[in-house]
């Protein structure tokens, strides 16, 4: 019988992890109508909001943020990290991407940013594109990493998706089933599910203290509840919002899409940009040789793509494109 991976030591969370990896950057709690949002602020120049995915925190940007010229704000999504915990609601709207996008737009306003770019990975990407759809006057540029719209995921669901994205249905089950099962075997859930998605797989990219910090996320019952509520919203109200917007509203700002070239998206959807094209007026992007956690697997490439994408149009046109780029022209 195969031995299970050695569990990561758990215990009292250490704040030295973030302090070391974001040296010189400011940590703040920003008041919003629903609660405090924890952010890490640094850099100079045009503002950029960075949003993490499941099951992480703003720490996932530790290698990319120092490479950015922009004035970045890396936030813990409400429900995750040190941000407030939205109270669950019967329709799960309190954890829906529309509500989270509103919270984070409010936080940016409190920081003095009325218009900004936003980049999100995984669940953060879903919050990011919802923000761009709902508040086009606030979002000047959008980048999403290793996602397609939630409505597309459910509309195209098949047997392949049921196996590849099994956690979508599992985490969306009524409370408290998934919460109790995760609490019963958090090490197994982390090692056999989260690590299997690629977290910690790229050599030299995931120090032990950082992985321990990610593992501790599953020791907080309020975070696990928020994760499950996040996915319940994704199976219901988020899908409803996407379906209502389909063919009615489009992302007005330029959109950059990056994805794992060896991951689930090409296997499920083939041409990832073609999935996004009906949702946005201008789409560019490419696949990276990385796992689902491409921001940490390939931080230099991700930072380069972001800096190039966010550069003024003239500067952008003078830069070198990767040979793997696939660009969709603007559509009306």
Please report the pLDDT score of residue 172 as a whole number. 98
Q: What pLDDT shows up at residue 19?
A: 67
When the pLDDT of each residue in the chain is averaged and rounded to a whole number, the result is: 90
Return the pLDDT at 312: 83
Spell out a b/e string for 276-302, using b for 16 or more CB atoms within 10 Å of the CB, else e: bbebbbbbbbbbbebbbbbbbbbbebb
What confidence score (pLDDT) does residue 41 get? 95
CA distance 273 to 286: 8
145, 146, 148, 154: CA torsion to nearest 10: -140
Confidence band, pLDDT 50/70/90 cuts, at residue 44: confident
Distances from the Cα of 81 to the Cαs of 29, 46, 162, 164, 224, in angstroms? 12, 25, 28, 26, 11
* pLDDT score at 3: 33
What is 16-328's CATH topology? Rossmann fold (3.40.50)
User: What band does 320 get if pLDDT is binned at 50, 70 and 90?
Assistant: very low
In the chain, % of residues over pLDDT 90: 84
Count of C-beta atoms within a 10 Å radius of residue 312: 8
What pLDDT was estimated at residue 324? Answer: 40
Whether 48 has a pLDDT exceeding 50, the answer reads yes
Choice between 120 and 45, residue whose per-residue pLDDT is larger: 120
**Of the candidate ranges 4-18, 85-99, 218-232, 300-314, the one whose mean pLDDT is the lowest:** 4-18
Q: How confident is the model at residue 327 (pLDDT cuts 50, 70, 90)?
A: very low
Q: What is the pLDDT of residue 282?
A: 97
Q: What pLDDT, on a 0 to 100 scale, did the predictor assign at position 45? A: 87
Tens digit of each residue's pLDDT (9 = 90 or more) over 56-82: 999 999 999 989 977 899 999 999 999
Asked about 271 being catalytic, the answer comes back as no
Catalytic residue of the set 58, 76, 292, 297: 292
**What's the confidence (pLDDT) of residue 322?**
42
Contact at 8 Å (CB) between 21 and 13? Answer: no
- Mean pLDDT lowest among 11-20, 174-183, 244-253, 307-316: 11-20
Please write down the HEC assignment for all residues of the chain: CCCCCCCCCCCCCCCHHHHHHCCCCEEEEEEECCEEEEEEEECCCCEEEEECCCCCCHHHHCCCHHHCCCEEEEECCCCCCCCCCCCCCCCCHHHCHHHHHHHHHHHHHHCCCCCEEEEEECHHHHHHHHHHHHCCCCEEEEEEECCCCHHHHHHCCCHHHHHHCHHHHHHCCCCCHHHHHHHHCHHHHHHHHHHHHCCCCCCCCCCHHHHHHHHHHHHCHHHHHHHHHHHHHHHCHHHHHHHHHCCCCCECCCEEEEEECCCHHHHHHCCHHHHHHHHECCEEEEEECCCCCHHHHCHHHHHHHHHHHHCCHHHHHHCCCCCCCEEECCCC
pLDDT of residue 273: 98
Least confident range from 19-33, 146-160, 166-180, 261-275: namely 19-33
- On the question of pLDDT at 330 being above 50, the answer is no
Catalytic residue among 122, 238, 242, 297: 122
Nearest to 127 by CA among 34, 29, 233, 216: 233
pLDDT (tens digit, 9 = 90+) per residue, 140-156?
999 999 999 999 999 99
> Active-site residue 121, yes or no?
no
Given a cut of 90, whether residue 321 has pLDDT beyond it is no
Per domain, the residue ranges of the chain are 16-328
The CA-CA-CA angle for residues 96, 309, 104, to 5°, reads 25
Q: Is 50 exceeded by the pLDDT of residue 4?
A: no
């Amino acid at each position: 019988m195969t031995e299970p991976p050695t569990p990561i030591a758990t215990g009292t969370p250490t704040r030295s992890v973030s302090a070391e990896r974001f040296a010189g950057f400011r940590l703040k709690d920003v008041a919003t109508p629903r609660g405090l949002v924890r952010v890490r602020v640094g850099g100079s120049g045009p503002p950029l909001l960075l949003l993490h995915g499941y099951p992480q925190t703003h720490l996932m940007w530790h290698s990319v943020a120092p490479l950015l010229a922009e004035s970045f704000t890396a936030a813990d999504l409400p429900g995750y990290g040190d941000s407030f915990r939205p109270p669950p609601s019967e329709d799960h709207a309190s954890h829906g991407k529309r509500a989270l996008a509103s919270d984070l737009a409010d936080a940016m306003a409190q920081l003095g940013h009325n218009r900004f770019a936003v980049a999100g990975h995984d669940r953060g990407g879903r919050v990011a594109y919802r923000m761009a759809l709902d508040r086009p006057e606030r979002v000047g540029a959008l980048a999403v990493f290793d996602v397609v719209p939630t409505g597309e995921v459910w509309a195209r669901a098949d047997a392949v998706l049921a196996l590849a994205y099994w956690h979508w249905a599992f985490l969306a089950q009524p409370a408290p089933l998934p919460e109790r099962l995760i609490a019963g075997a958090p090490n197994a859930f982390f090692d056999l599910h989260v690590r299997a998605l690629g977290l910690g797989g790229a050599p030299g990219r995931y120090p032990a203290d950082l992985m321990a910090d990610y593992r501790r996320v599953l020791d907080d019952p309020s975070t696990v509840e928020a994760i499950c509520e996040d996915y319940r919203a994704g199976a219901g109200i988020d899908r409803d919002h996407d379906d209502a917007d389909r063919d009615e509203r489009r992302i007005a700002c330029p959109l950059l899409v990056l994805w794992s070239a060896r991951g689930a998206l090409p296997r499920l959807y083939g041409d990832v940009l073609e999935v996004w094209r009906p949702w946005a007026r201008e789409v560019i992007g490419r696949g990276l040789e990385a796992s689902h956690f491409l921001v940490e697997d390939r931080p230099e490439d991700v930072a380069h793509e972001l800096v190039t994408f966010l550069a003024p149009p003239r500067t952008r046109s003078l830069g070198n494109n990767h040979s793997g780029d696939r660009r969709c022209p603007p559509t009306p």
